[in-house]
Amino acid sequence: MAALMALLRRDMRLAVRVGGGALMGVLFFLIVVAMVPFALGPDLALLARTGPAILWLGALLASLLALDRLFAADHEDGSLDLILMGRAPLELAVAAKALAHWLTTGLPLVIAVPLLGLFLNLSPTAIVAVALTLLVGTPALTCIGLVGAAIAVALRRGGLLVPVLVLPLAVPVLIFGVAASNAAVKGPMPFGTPFTVLVALTLFGVVLGPFAAAAALRHGLD
């Protein structure tokens, strides 16, 4: 529908224009990944072994960054009220916002993986595996985060609340994402087994997330 395209376009424009947008998420990802060797030590073998896990954790945290602003910004200036009065179903409007968030935050993280893989001394196989699992998993992270953001929308002192709500829900995605990456590098499990579960989790999240978020928004009305 034209209304949903308008919403998608607007959110993407805002993400790019306001406060560094997409690049801020990638920068945070870069910084978090750069922090890890200071804690673990520069042993390249160790970094290569834990690399997929580090990248997944970094991507998870970076994804969470833009999430609490997802609905809060619209709530603060009254746009959310008007979105609720539109003729497009709220579930689809929420899905459009999620898509905009993923395109401007999640996808750039995936693109940054090869560069960061270099820092962690990952093999090309590992880099491809991590990039692929993140490509499939970041939509799930966005949609799970959507629900947390919708629940916390009206709370002024949200702060760390959204990450606190969202991180436990994201655990399955993290487990299977890292497992699939490691399976591709070391085995003995075939890559396909955890990867298929990851795909299933994402499909589940992509469908359920907008419904849950829309319901949360409606119930969050005074």
Partner 1 sequence: MRISASNLGCVRGSREIFRNVNFNVASGQALAVLGPNGAGKSSLLRMVAGLLRIDSGGLGLEGGDDELTIPEQAHYLGHQDALKPALSVAENLGFWAGYLGNGRAGVTEALEAVGLGAIRDLPAGYLSAGQRRRLSIARLVSVPRPIWLLDEAAAALDQAAQGRLIDLMRRHLAGGGLILAATHAPLGLDAQELRLGAV
Partner 2 sequence: MRLSELANPSHFNALTERVLPWLVVATMLAFALGLYQALFVAPDDYQQGATVKIMFIHVPSAWLGMMGWALMSASALGTLVWRHPLADVAMKTAAPIGAAFTLICLVTGALWGRPTWGTYWVWDARLTSVLILFLMYLGVIALWRTVEDPSRAARAAAVLTLVGAVNLPIIKFSVDWWNTLHQPASVLRLGGSTIYPTILVPLLIMAVAFTLLFVTLHLSAMRNELLRRRVRTLRLMRAAAANP
Calpha distance 61→56 (Å, rounded): 9
Residue spans of alpha helices (H) in 77-160: 79-84, 90-101, 107-119, 124-151
Confirm if 138 and 63 have CB atoms less than 8 A apart: yes
**What is the total residue count of the chain?**
222
Task: Give the residue from 104, 125, 119, 117 showing the smallest Cα distance to 56.
Answer: 117
Binding mask of the shown chain, residues 60 to 99, with x at each position contacting partner 2 by CB under 8 A? ----------------------------------------
Calpha distance 201→172 (Å, rounded): 8
Calpha distance 131→150 (Å, rounded): 28
**Residue 170 Cβ vs partner 2, minimum distance, rounded to whole Å:** 25
Task: Using the structure block, give the residue that is written with the tokens 């319901």.
Answer: 215
CA distances from 77 to 53, 84, 161 (A): 38, 14, 21
CA distances from 124 to 3, 129, 175 (A): 42, 8, 21
Answer with the entry of partner 1, partner 2, none that 14 interacts with (C-beta below 5 to 8 A by kind). Answer: partner 1
**Residue 102 Cβ vs partner 1, minimum distance, rounded to whole Å:** 20
Residue (65 or 154) nearer to partner 2, CB = 65
Q: If binding is defined by CB under 8 A, does position 160 make contact with partner 2?
A: no
**Residue 86 Cβ vs partner 2, minimum distance, rounded to whole Å:** 28
Residue (119 or 211) nearer to partner 2, CB = 119
Q: Which residues between 113 and 152 bind partner 2 (CB under 8 A)?
A: 118-119, 121
Binding mask of the shown chain, residues 32 to 61, with x at each position contacting partner 2 by CB under 8 A? --x--xx--xxxx--x--------------
Confirm if 150 and 217 have CB atoms less than 8 A apart: yes
Single residue of 8, 15, 22, 30 touching partner 2 by CB under 8 A:
30
Binding site for partner 1 (CB under 8 A): 2-3, 5-7, 9-10, 13-14, 17-18, 76-79, 81-88, 221-222
Q: Count CB-CB contacts under 10 A for residue 54.
A: 22
**Residue 134 Cβ vs partner 2, minimum distance, rounded to whole Å:** 20
Confirm if 144 and 209 have CB atoms less than 8 A apart: yes
Answer with the entry of partner 2, partner 1, none that 160 interacts with (C-beta below 5 to 8 A by kind). Answer: none
Residue (39 or 222) nearer to partner 1, CB = 222
Residues that bind partner 2 (CB under 8 A): 19-20, 23-24, 27, 30-31, 34, 37-38, 41-44, 47, 118-119, 121
